[in-house]
Structure 1
Amino acid sequence: MSFQRYPEYKDSGVEWLGEVPAHWGVLRLKNVLAQKVTDGPHTTPVFIDEGVPFLSVDGIQNGELVFDGCRFVSEDDHAEFKRKASPRRNDLLMGKAASTGKIARVKVDFDFSIWSPLALIRIDRNAALPEFVEYILKSKATQAEIDNYCTANTQKNISMDDIPRLILTHPPIEEQTAIATFLDHETAKIDALVAEQEKLIALLQEKRQAVISHAVTKGLNPNVPMKDSGVEWLGEVPEHWAVGKCGFYLRILSGFAFPSSGFTDDDSDHRLLRGANVGVSRLKWDDTVYWQRSEGDGLDDYEMVEGDLVIGMDRPLIGEGMRVAKVTAEDLPSLLLQRVASLKVGSKLHADYLHYLLASEMFIAHFSPETTGVSVPHISPDQINKFIIPIPPMSEQLAIVNDVKRLLTEFGGLIAESEIAITLLQERRSALISAAVTGQIDVRNWSVSESA
């Protein structure tokens, strides 16, 4: 789909905006407000199990308000809160602290309250169309402008005084309506394509997990005689395999309680391997603190060794999977901090094979009953030691490891293709919004039938 440009342009007078259609205006957000920008309470309310929905900035996801899993406040508290901020249909909510710049338009008619990290922006419909302003605020250029206004102490935030200073393009109302209608239709098509790719990724991840779990529990030979493992969630295993508790085949070391007062930012010191650094199948060092070693400090046991497995003990399971990773040469030198455990395997267990077992649905089934309902799920060395695993001969473990690595490469390639497709679609979406709200394309004569 291609669009013509407007017949005539003028300098907007704003460096980052450049030229706009000659008949468009350029103004600040304050010029189209129906009321002063406000926010929710700055105190922590009393949350209850049922009541009036209460949203903070995490209630904005992918540009929409999400009430699933939200907190609730009482009718009395809501009555007090709404004296300051009472969201209604077509109001715009903007993240002004932590996740600054998140934008969503209210599309519901029921009552809810907002917390202080959200700003409520009410547009005067005689001055501008809220649907159009929403797209401007979500555009790449305006998001950059929001970021420029932000200050950062403990977290990024934009002040209530700076929000009304944001610059908007201002076409005639009928054009704002045409642009918003065009973007609603075209972004919905792009979002549907993104959703298809996300569904494909989820299916691939599910299939990958199933294939890996089958390999590490049933082996690679479909014709081998099987036996009952004696463990309900493990089921049958090859007849010649052993079955036993993890503790018989490995040694677990919990990290040392390094005091934060001794942390350094000198990258010539040893990195501290913290829970924040343990990702799914890899260690992440984008948030790193260091420790200066000295002779006789008694920390030799906590020096990481290439090939060790490490597991995050707090919140071990996240959306991507189990927080288990293998230490590589690039991760050294590093020291093990508390809330992380290292696993050193014995002669009858291959580290990679154990890694796949710990990343499997079996291990999740093993520890989940004891962590359900806990605010910060945590696993202990004892839980790991008691995890019952199948133990093939070492030659089979090696064969399984090699086959799983091959499968991971294949699935990883397919998932990467879908992720690239999503990135390109999102870039297309962003470019389309920016082009439309800045007048770089003329959609005045566009129609739904034309885009079908």
Structure 2
Amino acid sequence: MSEINSSLIKKEGLEWIGEIPRTWNINRLKISISKVKNGVWGEDQKRDKNDIECVRVADFNRLKFVIDNKPLTVRNVIENNKFLLEKGDLLIEKSGGGDKQPVGFVVRYNLNKPAVYANFIAKMTLNCELADSEYFMYLHSTLYAHRITLRSIKQTTGIQNLDINSYMNEYVPYPPLQIQREISKYLNQKTSEIDTLIADKERLIELLEEKRQAVITETVTKGLDPNVKMKDSGVEWIGEVPEHWEDSKIKHTCLINDKVLSESTPKDLDLHYIDIGSVNSSGEIIGIEKYKFSSAPSRARRVVKKGDTLISTVRTYLRAITWIDQDLTNLIASTGFAVITPQKMVEDRFLSYLLRSNLYVENIVSKSVGVSYPAISFKELENMPIFFPSIKEQKDIVKKIDDQSEHLISSKKEILLQISKLKEYRQSLIYEAVTGKIDVSDYDVPVESDPEEVSQ
């Protein structure tokens, strides 16, 4: 693959685009679109002729810019034929978002089944005489990656809204239609190669996490001595536990949701807020938002302090369970969490590992009720049985888990860095192609630099 001959390039004066081939044009986004139509949410499923699958923003695959091929939410939409998607339509998130994941993300509808799209989404039907669906999918991803969409975001409350008209007035490159198709074909091939590498590395992370979970589950339920005398716990899903361990329930050993913010809280109070989405399935807090009380979400009410364990009581299959190791002022969690504060007989780290073990997570999920948003009741949670040794032995158990987890966590961090570099390379490759920095006419020639090398 060769760089485009510099003698064939002209400067267009748009910073993010840079130089483009002389045969390309620059024009507004809106001429690539023949129609924009907002989505619909309808009503709950009624099992009649108006039931239809509905694409939500949660179904967006943000790596591949398509819709995940899985069962979609079923909604009841009258005259749903007015909102039907066709393969190749582009979908843009027009409402919702947040500081870390703004609105304006675009995906291509790639599924071979009838579906409509939710009210936080708009469908963009392309002008097929000027625009190739896949090329513009990649082009929109570049606009998003370069944060061009931020210019068109309006936010007066907690929710972001994309000014579609403003966004459609952005200038973008327009290669000849045949060149667009060649770029699409090239990027489909190359991104697929990179995606395979990323998937392989993500599987390695899953295996490391499974190994760590096995260590946690075995140690917090069986103890440190493989020769210790065991007893039947009397709880089918727990099985045998060391004979000398005490048995109790969460409600007898912990406080649950001990403190909450009142409505009389000063409006200008600074909060550090943890939402359900802020905790990943590995028990890591991946983001703490800052708000004034007056602008914080209405669910920002649970008071949290260092040593507490948070258990997501909604969408429990996400395994959003974490231990608080930070001593932040005014740390607040969503009411979707149960805040568990251990008392003197239970060490906080031991309790956290216990509640994050496979046995407890699977029990929490199994006791949850609901389809779209399964939730566990307060009563089920507070009556959950726990078994534990002396404080000294609990601390020894925590130390063993920490020691055995250290190299697993280190390996995971290294692989995550490799994945991050691959994603950066992927987006850079897309940018270079859609803005004409590279000549893709010889797309079928192997790339000189191996994507694997980028991740090292």
TM-score over 0.5 for the pair: yes
> Are 1:224 and 2:237 matched, yes or no?
no
User: 1:326-405 maps to which residues of 2 (within 5 A)?
Assistant: 326=324, 328=326, 330-332=327-329, 340-346=338-344, 348-373=345-370, 375=373, 377-380=375-378, 382-405=379-402
Instruction: Show the counterpart of 1:102.
Output: 105
Q: Is the contact made by 1:95 and 1:101 (CA closer than 8 Å) also made in structure 2? A: yes
1: CA distance between counterparts of 2:314 and 2:151? 34
Q: Is the contact made by 2:305 and 2:328 (CA closer than 8 Å) also made in structure 1? A: no
Q: How many Å apart are 1:327 and its aligned residue?
A: 5.2
2: CA distance between counterparts of 1:354 and 1:220? 16
Instruction: Show the counterpart of 2:3.
Output: 4
2: CA distance between counterparts of 1:109 and 1:327? 47
Q: How many Å apart are 1:170 and its aligned residue?
A: 1.6
Instruction: Show the counterpart of 2:258.
Output: 255
Greater mean alpha carbon deviation, residues 24-33 or residues 310-319: 310-319
Instruction: Show the counterpart of 2:201.
Output: 197
Q: Is the contact made by 1:96 and 1:157 (CA closer than 8 Å) also made in structure 2? A: yes
Structure label with greater radius of gyration: 1
Q: Given the two structures, how large is their TM-score scaled by the length of structure 1? A: 0.82
**Runs (5+) with no aligned partner, structure 1:** 292-301
**Runs (5+) with no aligned partner, structure 2:** 98-102, 295-301, 451-456
Amino acid at match of 1:442: D
1: CA distance between counterparts of 2:278 and 2:188? 40
2: CA distance between counterparts of 1:60 and 1:241? 47
Q: How many Å apart are 1:44 and its aligned residue?
A: 4.0
Q: Secondary structure of 1:343's match?
A: strand
Instruction: Show the counterpart of 1:434.
Output: 431
Q: How many Å apart are 1:211 and its aligned residue?
A: 1.0
Instruction: Show the counterpart of 2:454.
Output: none
Q: How many Å apart are 1:76 and its aligned residue?
A: 4.5
Question: What's the Cα RMSD here?
Answer: 3.3
TM-aligned CA distance change 1:113 to 1:334, over 3 Å: closer
Instruction: Show the counterpart of 1:66.
Output: 68
TM-aligned CA distance change 1:378 to 1:224, over 3 Å: closer
Q: Is the contact made by 1:353 and 1:397 (CA closer than 8 Å) also made in structure 2? A: yes
Q: Given the two structures, how large is their TM-score scaled by the length of structure 2? A: 0.81
Q: Secondary structure of 1:227's match?
A: strand
Q: How many Å apart are 1:188 and its aligned residue?
A: 0.5
User: 1:165-204 maps to which residues of 2 (within 5 A)?
Assistant: 165-204=169-208
Q: Is the contact made by 2:154 and 2:160 (CA closer than 8 Å) also made in structure 1? A: yes
Q: Deviations over 1:59-86 (max 9, x none)?
A: 322211236342334574313xx1xx44
Q: Secondary structure of 2:10's match?
A: strand
Q: Deviations over 1:413-442 (max 9, x none)?
A: 122112111111110000000001111111
Q: Secondary structure of 1:220's match?
A: coil
Q: Deviations over 1:117-174 (max 9, x none)?
A: 2222222332232221211111156752222112112322222323432322122222
Q: Deviations over 1:335-392 (max 9, x none)?
A: 899765342322x432221221122223234444432327462442x54553322322
Amino acid at match of 1:53: E
Instruction: Show the counterpart of 2:100.
Output: none
Q: How many Å apart are 1:12 and its aligned residue?
A: 1.2
1: CA distance between counterparts of 2:333 and 2:11? 58
Instruction: Show the counterpart of 1:147.
Output: 150
Amino acid at match of 1:48: K
1: CA distance between counterparts of 2:329 and 2:77? 55
2: CA distance between counterparts of 1:218 and 1:74? 49
TM-aligned CA distance change 1:287 to 1:67, over 3 Å: farther
Amino acid at match of 1:393: S
Instruction: Show the counterpart of 2:79.
Output: 77
Instruction: Show the counterpart of 2:297.
Output: none
> Are 1:55 and 2:58 matched, yes or no?
no
Instruction: Show the counterpart of 1:125.
Output: 128
Q: Is the contact made by 1:216 and 1:357 (CA closer than 8 Å) also made in structure 2? A: yes
TM-aligned CA distance change 1:447 to 1:283, over 3 Å: closer
2: CA distance between counterparts of 1:247 and 1:158? 46
